[in-house]
């Protein structure tokens, strides 16, 4: 994560960030053409987001392990002799 000091933001942004209950108030930062450029989220929302990403990664890892066929991997793997032959 890149870091920026709160005091370097505009007064308007600081006011929005320092609201009493900003939990459900993400702050969108828009370019002049109206496209969303970035979003400021609360620390609680960021923690939630990280947890969900980690859960998804764990599901993907578990799926990979379920689909892993060690017999096939061993059968297809090169032996030391194969590597030595390739060098000649």
Whether residue 34 sits in one domain with residue 52: no
The CA distance from 15 to 55, in Å, is 33
Provide the pLDDT confidence category of residue 18 given band limits of 50, 70 and 90: confident
Query: In which domain, by residue range, is 28 found?
Result: 1-41
Give me the number of domains the chain comprises.
2
Whether residue 16 sits in one domain with residue 57: no
Tokens, residue 69: 């066929």
Question: pLDDT tens digit string along 19-44?
Answer: 877 656 788 899 999 999 999 888 88
Whether residue 55 sits in one domain with residue 77: yes
pLDDT > 90 in the chain, percent: 31
Q: Note the pTM of the prediction, 2 decimals.
A: 0.53
The CA distance from 22 to 41, in Å, is 9
């Amino acid at each position: 994560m890149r870091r920026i000091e709160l005091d370097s933001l505009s007064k308007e942004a600081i006011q929005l960030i320092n609201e009493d209950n900003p939990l459900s108030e993400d702050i969108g930062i828009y370019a002049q053409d109206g496209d969303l450029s970035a979003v400021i989220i609360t620390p609680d929302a960021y923690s939630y987001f990280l947890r969900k990403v980690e859960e998804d990664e764990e599901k993907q890892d578990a799926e990979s392990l379920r689909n892993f066929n060690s017999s096939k991997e061993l059968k297809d793997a090169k032996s030391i002799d194969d590597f030595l032959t390739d060098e000649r």
